Chains A and B, each alone.
Chain A
């Protein structure tokens, strides 16, 4: 089409430098689209008609060029009714891909009056549903002032066209800003704020998970010394949980016997405990001792020396037991979502003793065998005691402590 040359004389652009066609939404709707729908002549054909099925986004650039100044967005009219005679879904497929609507239509207002709606679409290369998202974005504007019929406002097209004039939309196509490639685009982003926002949002769910995992990894590195020395041996389902671990000072393995499921858990109750080779460390003893010592160092037995160890203990208990029946002084430490993503601080001496709260139990109830297997698996990975990376189901994130952090 030769209409593109209207703005230049002898190749010289009539548009002064710094100026470009960049209409407000109100101008797009109220001036251009209204005139188009009413078949009124628009003074300078800066916006052309385009058949969206036949043009790829990158072809639209050529087709919709205005003058010779560099552009970052391109405008055109498109007609909706041409796509499907029936139904409401639009066919926006091209040879190379398709346009997919995303999000809700946004209401466009002029002052306080509603004048239209804007739909956002993204171009995917390939075929649905396996398309590859591209950086091409389209805003599709249509007139809609909420009235029952737009005909009275728009008027009847004198040409008597069979095509409904209400099917016209005006579109803006642009390439999403990829902040990595600032050299390619004429206008630079407005600072690191927008950059950070774009990066964090464009990553989506996976970015958040990566952040969580990397944070956990970082905090674990600082405790790698201790964690390396913790070896956990979990017995089979018939037996009690045993923990054997080594302390920094004492490399000989010690065992602690945790009370059997369902057994009464008085400190003197040894009836269910296998004797001899194990050094019995009643579970409640651990807590009582911790109670007495705010610094939480069980120095006498050298058993549990910091929060990480206790966390493991607790986690193993949680996963190993379908029911937790303990007396009140044996309430677990809090299953606090904030704590689950931050391992105990490095310097244990400074950690105040956390208030004891009732734990939320794991939502799934496994039998003990399965749980012991899980424990084995759990303690195989250093920082995975909440069982996140071992789980393959997406719902693992929606259960458990990290559910508060999902996107």
Chain B
């Protein structure tokens, strides 16, 4: 366990923001600095099945966190990860400076492109900056030097669990809440 983690009262959990993941964790890892708390494991190049991560990745709030250097060819034995949307930039809340990118993937069973989509979702964070593009090209050339920009930080979770479970209130509303909130209690409003 990381320092200070065990001393927290109940209710505290690992629930990082995008900014924290990039600034406090990914950035330090890429610079090969020790992370505080040093809780997120590095799974290297190996891409596990999402359900295999229990025990191998750091778990916080029903989500699994790990570092990876696997940034291309996201294929496992059972399936593959496919992006669900455009890559989004991540900014710091204070200075609005861009610190990285976030990309969402969904896991599909089977072989691309005919796989069946599952509810397993991964958020993959990478650092921004000029070296990220050179990082990719150097990988393609097969260089063995570990470029800091090749690190990504991943958060894997089952998005069905997320909505069916409890802690939906923090940032995202569960589907049921959304339905309730779109209806008024006493009157149902028709479009005028």
Contacts and interface: CB of A to CB of B under 8 A. Distances in A.
Contacts, number: 173
B45 interface: no
Nearest to B180: A103
Interface string B92-134: 0100100000101010000000000000010100000000000
Contacts of B189: 204-205
Given A15-B8, A186-B17, A198 B178 contact: yes
Contacts of B60: 18
A177 B88 contact: no
Nearest to B123: A190
Interface string A182-197: 1101111111111101
Report, as a range, how many residues of chain B touch the other chain. 35 or more
A14 B16 CA distance: 15
A interface: dominant SS? mixed
B34 interface: no
Contacts of A2: none
Nearest to A75: B11
Interface string B52-82: 0000000011000000000000000000000
B18 interface: yes
Contacts of A23: 10-13
Interface residues of A, number: 63
A149 to B, nearest CB: 26
A19 B14 contact: yes
Contacts of B37: 16-18
Contact of B104 (A19, A25, A186, A190): A190
A394 interface: yes
Contact of B17 (A187, A194, A201, A203): A187
Interface in A19-41: 19-28, 31-32
Contacts of B9: 43-44, 46
A182 B114 CA distance: 32
Interface string A105-128: 010100000000000101000000
A19 B14 CA distance: 4
B180 A197 contact: no
Interface in A51-77: 70, 72-73
Given A18-B24, A46-B11, A192-B84, A120 B171 contact: no
A280 B96 CA distance: 75
A8 to B, nearest CB: 13
A195 to B, nearest CB: 8
9 contacts: A14-B4, A17-B37, A18-B60, A103-B179, A174-B170, A186-B18, A193-B159, A194-B172, A197-B175
Interface of B: 2-5, 8-21, 24-25, 36-37, 60-61, 84-85, 88, 90-91, 93, 96, 102, 104, 106, 121, 123, 159, 162, 166-167, 169-173, 175-185, 188-191
By Cβ-Cβ distance, the 4 closest A-B pairs, closest first, are A103-B180, A23-B11, A186-B17, A394-B190
